[in-house]
Amino acid sequence: MVRHVSSTCSLADAAPGSQEEEQLRAMEAAVKQLLVNVGEDPLREGLVDTPRRVAKAWLDMTRGYRQDHKSAFGTALFHEPIVSAGSDGLVIVRDITFAALSEHTLLPFHGRCHIAYVPRHGVVLGLSKLARVTKCLAARLQTQQAFTERLIAAVAEEVQAKGVAAVVQAVHLGDGPAPAAQLSSGATGVFSDPASGRLHEFVTLLRLSGRAAPPAACFAEQQPVAAEEAAAGGEQGAAAAASSSLVQATDTLLQNVGEDPGRKGLKGSAARYASWLAGATAGYRMQLPCGCSDAGCSGAADGSSGGGGGSGGGSPVTADGSSSSNRAALRRIVEMFSKRLQVQERLTHQVADAVASALGAAAVLVVVESAHMCMVARGVEKHASTTLTTAARGAWAEDTTARAAALEALLDQQPHSPRKL
């Protein structure tokens, strides 16, 4: 059964005893079931409040179902005679940040979009309204291309412009070690007419101030992106890998945010999410390399308060050991402790302890740089922010000068490439 919510208020602020509070409790129970099924104890310190945080994160990331996007426009439409009398100029708002949930994986994707329109009869829209409607339309389960098309249609309907175009650049959380980057776009009216030259103007102006911009060819008919094709194609495998209780708990979350787990776009998504969650917590079932016991490496990890149920992706690095066997052991240690419900600070020290024990290293330095999906899922606007943590053992823990030199050596080994998004 799908639970529909017509209220415009946040379920996270539901009144005690209300229907909204009942839905929140149902979602908390579902999250507890997910925790139990990956081998965790929802009652232990660090996880006691996690089910409610995760439930609230789901509600925040799907608040678009409970909001009328037209209200985001308000009454901020203005007639400017000089715009009407002059040549058809462009209005472009760049770098509007957003976060959404993929309907194929149920995991977050986030990034920025650029919107352009050509006013008709001098009617222009208050610029903040484009950002408001973008965030409202993003807050639901959907594909990136569907979000792009829905955004263009909403602006075109409200402004009645001569044409609307948009480019959406986003990164998607998935099974890989780093988020996958995707680009989607669309155009209507004069932007879809090659002879008008307006599309070329839009793409050219996106490069203003030295910005990177996609080629005009990206506005050709959009094809399903590789990640979405893989998700759709992997439905049977995911269903086989995921336990029925994990899938049922995920279905409960979908139903209580107002979705239908059986609709075409969501078919198999609960199984894929459950399979991903099982893989993302595989560290509980892994063994450390010889010479180190799990109990001797800082014990069990604390639970994450993130909305996705796992630790943030990152790049832990050690500055000790160069043989192939050592590198394999380092990868094993990092994988084991990162694929758990974690907090980054504890993860960093667990890796340091395990490396010192397993490799018998006289000095160990660990640096973890991580982007946390809970920053996205819990409504934090700084989607591109990262967190750095360090831990040192042995000689590098005792000698600050030697530790500083080791850190410089470590950084010199890292590729120097500019961040995107």
What gap in Å lies between CA 22 and CA 18, rounded to an integer? 6
Report the pLDDT value the prediction gives residue 322, as an integer from 0 to 100.
Answer: 54
20 — phi, psi (to 5°)?
-65, -40
Report the pLDDT value the prediction gives residue 220, as an integer from 0 to 100.
Answer: 66
- pLDDT tens column, 203-215: 999 987 667 667 6
CATH number attached to the domain at 65-230:
3.30.1130.10
Domain 287-412 falls under CATH 3.20.20.70: no
Is 353 a residue whose pLDDT tops 50?
Answer: yes
Would you kindly state where each structural domain of the chain is located, as residue ranges?
11-61+234-280, 65-230, 287-412
pLDDT, mean of residues 148-166: 95
Contact 50, 31 (CB under 8 A): yes
Structure confidence at residue 267 as a pLDDT band (50, 70, 90):
very high
What gap in Å lies between CA 102 and CA 377, rounded to an integer? 12
- Tokens standing for 166? 């948009």
Report CA-CA distances (Å) from 12 to 2, 62, 120, 355: 19, 12, 41, 42
Minimum mean pLDDT range among 222-226, 346-350, 386-390: 222-226
- Could you give the dihedral angle defined by the CA atoms of residues 372, 376, 377 and 378, in that order, rounded to the nearest 10 degrees? 100
Report CA-CA distances (Å) from 96 to 216, 222, 232, 302, 341: 20, 21, 29, 35, 31
Is 237 a residue whose pLDDT tops 70?
Answer: no
Report the pLDDT value the prediction gives residue 374, as an integer from 0 to 100.
Answer: 65
Pairing state between β 77-79 and 123-125: antiparallel
Residue type, 418: P
Report the pLDDT value the prediction gives residue 297, as an integer from 0 to 100.
Answer: 37
Neighbours of 261 (CB within 10 A): 19
| CB crowding 19-36: b at 16 or more within 10 Å, else e | ebeebbeebbebbbbbbe
Q: Between 34 and 373, where is the model more confident?
A: 34
- pLDDT tens column, 91-116: 999 999 999 999 999 999 999 999 99
Report CA-CA distances (Å) from 196 to 108, 163, 184, 199, 271: 37, 11, 22, 8, 47
Report the pLDDT value the prediction gives residue 410, as an integer from 0 to 100.
Answer: 84
Report CA-CA distances (Å) from 214 to 95, 98, 155, 219: 13, 18, 21, 9
Is 275 a residue whose pLDDT tops 70?
Answer: yes
Report CA-CA distances (Å) from 152 to 148, 157, 184, 409: 6, 9, 12, 49
Least Cα distance to 112 among 130, 88, 129, 124 occurs for: 130
Report the pLDDT value the prediction gives residue 51, as an integer from 0 to 100.
Answer: 95
- Answering whether pTM is above 0.85, one says no
Is 39 a residue whose pLDDT tops 60?
Answer: yes
Report the pLDDT value the prediction gives residue 416, as an integer from 0 to 100.
Answer: 57
- E strand or H helix at 369, and its extent? strand 363-371
Q: Left if phi > 0, otherwise alpha if psi is -120 to 50, otherwise beta: which for 360?
A: left
- pLDDT tens column, 355-393: 998 888 889 999 998 877 765 555 545 556 788 999 999
What gap in Å lies between CA 132 and CA 402, rounded to an integer? 50
Minimum mean pLDDT range among 49-63, 106-120, 253-267, 374-388: 374-388
Examine domains 65-230 and 287-412 and report if their fold is the same.
Answer: yes
What gap in Å lies between CA 387 and CA 78, rounded to an integer? 43
